[in-house]
């Protein structure tokens, strides 16, 4: 009797990979009961495809070699599925060895006869020992035990969950950088919303046949958070206007991201995984992002802030602002290091504090480069908005810091006193900080605003932890210092006011 599986849109499993696979199956086959082996073969034919290369086998019936078109698992699925084609028995003709058939790419469910509980859905059914080809998260269960407690012995899956695990490869979004890194992404929400998302958003945005990835991202690098932010910016950019999404697609995205009056109540989550491709995938990190609606709101505020300074294309300018925190390294400057961008993206994705990394980038990268450039036009507007919206910083204090930072950076450039800015940046406690400010008054003949002079209980200045005050002042000052001394060709790009 053939094994059958039931595809039921009202029964999510709750695991992001398996649910995405279920959605792929539901969209391809529709709800109903199906022969498991039939579905397996149809999935296989989508995941294993012709490579464009020709091989030879020996046709024993005809008594001569014949050509066939080679087939392999499509990249990057081939990093996970390690089942090779079966060439049949081999024969030797004129000292050359031939297979006797084109390799058959087959995998079987290998279900055990006696039913037991499926580790994924809890159903009692014939189960199979899950292998990597069904489910990439089995690569390293030790490391991901938090996600799958109690399955260190390996995972037993029913036929439906195993097939959904395989179908997950048809619903993921991925981005690769050659042999260095592979990121992949899976959205998750309730099953009806996930189906809608897949049908009208994910599928239309997916591109095929590109070894760099199956989705466009506004920015990408070797790290997980910067690339995740790049994917989200790309999606956010499609909500108001899109050349690839239908009106229905934009509407679905707007509802899921909370960009309309009646947002979808189903929370939208994004799972991002990064690893090294190699022979097999070596997983390095798995992250879950849950604040997508708040992120979208922040994105819209950013665009407004950029419109206020007459940005011609606020989305593009925002992308370029968030992209800038990297530098080219190596003898031929052929290698991009973007660790600061990744950490800043991480802070943004989690609504944390990106300013220490911006400070580090300015002082350790920009200020030490041969040609020293300030931050891109609009950067401070964008991050001032972040200070206000996310870190609840008082606008008055922000303006005091920006104004004094500007005077400080400009005067330091005029007096050739870059060292003072480093002393400020390196201040380790409030006493250090005030000692540097004292030096500033003395050497640059500047008056420190009185708002900064009162240290309060808990080492706060005007209600803000002293170290954030110091960090912001360092950023404003160094940026003005760099802008004042920037090479001439930079003045066009950076001429707009960035003091906010």
Cis peptide before 443 (omega within 30 of 0): no
Question: What is the C-alpha separation between 221 and 223, in angstroms, rounded?
Answer: 6
With binding defined as CB under 5 A, does residue 452 bind Zn ion?
no
With binding defined as CB under 5 A, does residue 43 bind Zn ion?
no
Smaller CB distance to Zn ion: residue 165 or 258?
Answer: 165
Closest C-alpha among 78, 70, 77, 67 to residue 52: 70
Minimum CB distance to Zn ion, residue 34 (Å): 15
Most distant CA pair in the chain, distance: 97
DSSP annotation of 152 reads T
Smaller CB distance to Zn ion: residue 18 or 427?
Answer: 18
Task: Go through the chain and tell me how many residues it has.
Answer: 500
Counts for the chain of helices (H) and strands (E), in that order:
16, 19
The residue range among 119-127, 208-216, 294-302, 410-418 that interacts with Zn ion, by the rule CB under 5 A, is 119-127
With a CB cutoff of 8 Å and minimum separation 6, the contacts of 406 are 476, 477, 480, 499
Smaller CB distance to Zn ion: residue 13 or 397?
Answer: 13
Minimum CB distance to Zn ion, residue 81 (Å): 20
> Cα 430–434–435 angle (5° rounding)?
115
Smaller CB distance to Zn ion: residue 156 or 470?
Answer: 156
With binding defined as CB under 5 A, does residue 121 bind Zn ion?
yes
Tokens 């920006």 label which residue? 402
Task: Pull the structure tokens for residue 418.
Answer: 């870059």
Smaller CB distance to Zn ion: residue 171 or 374?
Answer: 171
With binding defined as CB under 5 A, does residue 158 bind Zn ion?
yes
Given 118, 215, 295, 475, the residue binding Zn ion (CB under 5 A): 118
Measured CA distances, 68 to 40, 44, 51 (Å): 23, 18, 11
Question: What is the C-alpha separation between 25 and 29, in angstroms, rounded?
Answer: 6
The residue range among 24-32, 77-85, 113-121, 369-377 that interacts with Zn ion, by the rule CB under 5 A, is 113-121
> Cα 230–232–238 angle (5° rounding)?
110
Restricting to residues 251-270, which ones interact with Zn ion according to CB under 5 A? none
Smaller CB distance to Zn ion: residue 122 or 463?
Answer: 122
Given 130, 161, 181, 473, the residue binding Zn ion (CB under 5 A): 161
Given 7, 26, 79, 120, the residue binding Zn ion (CB under 5 A): 120
**How many C-beta atoms lie closer than 10 Å to residue 449's C-beta?**
15
Count of residues near Zn ion by CB under 5 A = 5
With binding defined as CB under 5 A, does residue 163 bind Zn ion?
no
Restricting to residues 233-252, which ones interact with Zn ion according to CB under 5 A? none
Question: What is the C-alpha separation between 306 and 299, in angstroms, rounded?
Answer: 11
Minimum CB distance to Zn ion, residue 112 (Å): 13
Measured CA distances, 247 to 186, 238, 244 (Å): 23, 10, 10
Smaller CB distance to Zn ion: residue 121 or 411?
Answer: 121
Minimum CB distance to Zn ion, residue 2 (Å): 18
The residue range among 161-169, 270-278, 450-458, 491-499 that interacts with Zn ion, by the rule CB under 5 A, is 161-169
Minimum CB distance to Zn ion, residue 195 (Å): 19
Smaller CB distance to Zn ion: residue 21 or 76?
Answer: 21
Closest C-alpha among 308, 77, 59 to residue 171: 77
Question: What is the C-alpha separation between 80 and 104, in angstroms, rounded?
Answer: 18
The residue range among 111-119, 181-189, 391-399, 449-457 that interacts with Zn ion, by the rule CB under 5 A, is 111-119
Smaller CB distance to Zn ion: residue 22 or 472?
Answer: 22
With the C-alpha atoms ordered 433, 435, 440, 446, is the resulting torsion angle positive or negative?
A: positive
Minimum CB distance to Zn ion, residue 161 (Å): 3
The residue range among 93-101, 116-124, 265-273, 401-409 that interacts with Zn ion, by the rule CB under 5 A, is 116-124
Helix (H, G, I), strand (E, B) or coil at 81: coil
The residue range among 58-66, 112-120, 283-291, 294-302 that interacts with Zn ion, by the rule CB under 5 A, is 112-120
Question: What is the C-alpha separation between 265 and 406, in angstroms, rounded?
Answer: 45
Smaller CB distance to Zn ion: residue 40 or 411?
Answer: 40
Which residues of this chain interact with Zn ion, rule CB under 5 A?
A: 118, 120-121, 158, 161
């Amino acid at each position: 009797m053939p094994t059958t599986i039931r595809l039921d849109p009202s029964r999510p499993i709750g695991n992001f990979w398996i649910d995405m696979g279920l959605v792929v199956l539901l969209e391809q086959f529709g709800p109903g009961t199906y022969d498991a082996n039939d579905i397996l073969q149809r999935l296989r034919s989508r995941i294993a495809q012709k490579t464009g290369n020709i091989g030879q086998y020996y046709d024993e019936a005809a008594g001569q070699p014949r050509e066939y078109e080679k087939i392999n698992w499509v990249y990057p699925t081939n990093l996970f599925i390690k089942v090779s084609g079966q060439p049949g028995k081999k024969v030797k003709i004129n000292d050359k060895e031939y297979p006797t058939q084109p390799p058959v790419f087959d995998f079987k469910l290998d279900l055990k006869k006696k039913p037991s509980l499926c580790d994924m859905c809890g159903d009692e059914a014939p189960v199979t020992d899950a292998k990597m080809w069904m489910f990439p998260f089995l690569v390293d269960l030790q490391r991901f035990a938090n996600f799958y407690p109690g399955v260190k012995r390996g995972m037993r899956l029913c036929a439906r969950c195993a097939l959904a695990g395989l179908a997950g490869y048809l619903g993921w979004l991925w981005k690769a950088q050659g042999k260095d890194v592979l990121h992949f992404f899976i959205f998750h929400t309730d099953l009806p919303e996930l189906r809608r998302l897949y049908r009208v958003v994910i599928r239309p945005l997916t591109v095929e046949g590109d070894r760099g990835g199956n989705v466009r991202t506004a920015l990408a690098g070797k790290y997980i958070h910067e690339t995740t932010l790049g994917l989200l910016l790309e999606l956010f950019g499609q909500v108001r206007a899109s050349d690839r999404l239908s009106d229905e697609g934009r509407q679905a995205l707007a509802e899921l991201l909370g960009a309309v009056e009646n947002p979808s109540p189903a929370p939208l989550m994004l799972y991002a995984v990064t690893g090294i491709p190699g022979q097999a995938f070596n997983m390095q990190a798995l992250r879950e992002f849950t604040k997508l609606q708040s992120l979208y709101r922040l994105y819209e505020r950013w665009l407004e802030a950029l419109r206020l300074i007459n940005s011609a294309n606020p989305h593009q300018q925002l992308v370029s602002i968030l992209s800038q925190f990297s530098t080219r390294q190596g003898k031929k400057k052929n290698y991009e290091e973007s660790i600061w961008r990744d950490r800043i993206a991480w802070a943004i994705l989690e609504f944390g504090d990106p300013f220490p990394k911006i400070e580090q980038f300015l002082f350790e990268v920009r200020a030490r480069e041969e040609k020293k450039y300030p931050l891109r036009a609009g950067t401070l507007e964008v991050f001032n908005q972040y200070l206000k919206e996310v870190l609840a910083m008082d606008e008055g204090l922000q303006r005091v810091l920006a104004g004094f930072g500007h005077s400080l950076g400009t005067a330091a450039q005029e007096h050739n006193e870059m060292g003072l800015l480093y002393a400020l940046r390196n201040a380790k406690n409030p006493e250090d900080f005030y000692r540097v400010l004292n030096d500033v008054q003395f050497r640059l003949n500047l008056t420190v605003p009185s708002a900064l002079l009162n240290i309060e209980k808990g080492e706060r200045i005007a209600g803000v932890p002293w170290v954030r005050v110091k960090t912001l002042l360092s950023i404003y000052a160094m940026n003005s210092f760099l802008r004042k001394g920037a090479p001439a060709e930079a003045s066009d790009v950076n001429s707009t006011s960035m003091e906010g």
